[in-house]
Amino acid sequence: MKPDPLKAALLAIPLVLLVLVGAVAPLGLLLWQSVLESEVSPALPRTLRVLGHWQGKGLPDDMAFETLAADLAALRAAGPAGEDAMARADARLAADVPALRGVLPETARVAAETGTTRAVSVLVAQPAWAEAESWAALRRAGEGVSGFHLFAALGLRRTAGGFEEAPEGARARTALLRGVGAAGLATLACLVLAWPLARWIAEAPPGRAALLSAATALPLLAGEGARATGWGALLLPGSAAAFAALVLGLLPLMVLPVALALRHHGPRLPRAAAALGVPPATVLRRVRLPLARRGLAAGAALVFAHALGALAVPAALLPDEPLAAEALADAARAGRWSEAGALAALLLLPALLVAGVLLIRRRGRAA
């Protein structure tokens, strides 16, 4: 068989294209949402255009007050769709400056009932509009692209001089840290636990090895939902139970690559080392583990990524304390795409980092 590079590339191209269309492009779209400011500009387009001319010192001129009142009146006239847009803009402003919660709907309501000029009616409705800080927050939320949501997912907000703690900052950071920390711990636990089972599979005769690996793969193939239901019936909810279920569910992802690597190299080298009088602990450290290196690296990358993205098991056994993955799923289901995109970026980064470090170094050494 003479390998023809062009033919080989042509054979691989359809799947590569499908991955680009089906995985890379949607992920790119999701990550793009995290830097896009999409909440305030559909609600208050004219106000933001006028604020573009504002120097940022003192209050903006009459024109800004006028257009704000006009935009809010237009939203009120638009019915439910307008109310929805106003609520989204209000939530975005409140995430930046908590004192602005409810200010937009309240202004719209009171200004509509005030008989003065529009500019005055805005000021009468809400004293918050007498402060430059409120207008600055409004203008920030109208920039096309910003890092606001990324920092918010880290529990930070940007101020003139640097960063400060966001209102819900501690909670957001805890969810993120717990998610990444649990994934790291689960990977370590799998590294230790997988070894005896992987060696059993690797050293068994072919028929039994196939049976054992099939039994190992069974809980993995049954799916996370099936495992979550099963463990939910067996264990009481709690952190320890959730962690145990997570580790045991992902263990096949570590066992099978390690068993494959061990089986690939065969039993000859460790046997030879033992026959030469090397103590068992040294055989493990100097011969068996290096032989299994590729399997361990692949298994660690797989377990870490899948632990980071686990949804059903933590939801079933740890209902009160959502991890980062559940926060992301909730935001996505509710259509809060900026928040979902920011969380996705923060989860994708460690997953790709771990996979890159583990798998690319392996290739470098092998070459």
Partner 1 sequence: MRRLAAAALLLALLAPLPALLLAGGTGEGTPLLPRLLAAAVAALAATALGGAAGMGLHARFRGRGAAFALVALPLLLPPVLPGAALLLAGERTETGGLPGTVLWHVLLGAPLVAGLVMAALGRIDPALFRAAQACGATPDLAARRILRPRLLPALAAGAALSFALSVGEGTVAAMLEAGAPVTAAPILSVLVVLGMLLLALLARPKSGTA
Give, as ranges, the residues between 225 and 254 that touch partner 1 (CB under 8 A).
225-234, 245, 248-249, 251-252
Q: How far is the CB of 37 from partner 1 (least distance, A)?
A: 17
Q: How far is the CB of 260 from partner 1 (least distance, A)?
A: 9
Closer CB to partner 1, 100 or 189, in the complex: 189
Closer CB to partner 1, 9 or 188, in the complex: 9
Closer CB to partner 1, 106 or 330, in the complex: 330
Q: How far is the CB of 322 from partner 1 (least distance, A)?
A: 12
Site string for partner 1, 179-198 (x = CB under 8 A): --------------x--xx-
Site string for partner 1, 342-361 (x = CB under 8 A): --x--xx--xx--x------
Q: How far apart are CA 276 and CA 285, in angstroms?
A: 16
- Kindly state the helix (H) or strand (E) to which residue 154 belongs, with its residue range: none
Distances (CA, A) of 148 to 4, 209, 222, 325: 50, 53, 40, 20
Q: Is 3 left (phi over 0), alpha (psi -120 to 50) or beta?
A: beta
Binder among 217, 269, 278, 284 for partner 1 (CB under 8 A) = 217
Closer CB to partner 1, 169 or 249, in the complex: 249
Q: How far is the CB of 45 from partner 1 (least distance, A)?
A: 21
Give phi and psi for 79, each to the nearest 5: 75, -145
Closer CB to partner 1, 81 or 221, in the complex: 221
What beta strand segments (E) does the chain contain?
A: 156-158, 163-165
Closer CB to partner 1, 222 or 272, in the complex: 222
Binder among 153, 182, 306, 318 for partner 1 (CB under 8 A) = 306
Q: Is residue 295 within 8 Å of residue 258, measured between CB atoms? A: yes
Can residue 333 be called a binding residue for partner 1 (CB under 8 A)?
Answer: yes
Structure tokens at 249: 């569910």
Can residue 276 be called a binding residue for partner 1 (CB under 8 A)?
Answer: no
Give phi and psi for 101, each to the nearest 5: -65, 125
Binder among 33, 67, 134, 187 for partner 1 (CB under 8 A) = 33
Q: How far apart are CA 203 and CA 2, in angstroms?
A: 35
Sign of the CA dihedral running 266, 270, 274, 280: negative
Can residue 175 be called a binding residue for partner 1 (CB under 8 A)?
Answer: no
Please list, in sequence order, all residues whose beta carbon lies within 8 angstroms of the beta carbon of residue 322, skipping any fewer than 6 positions away.
175, 314, 330
Closer CB to partner 1, 4 or 143, in the complex: 4
Distances (CA, A) of 293 to 38, 261, 273, 298: 46, 8, 18, 9
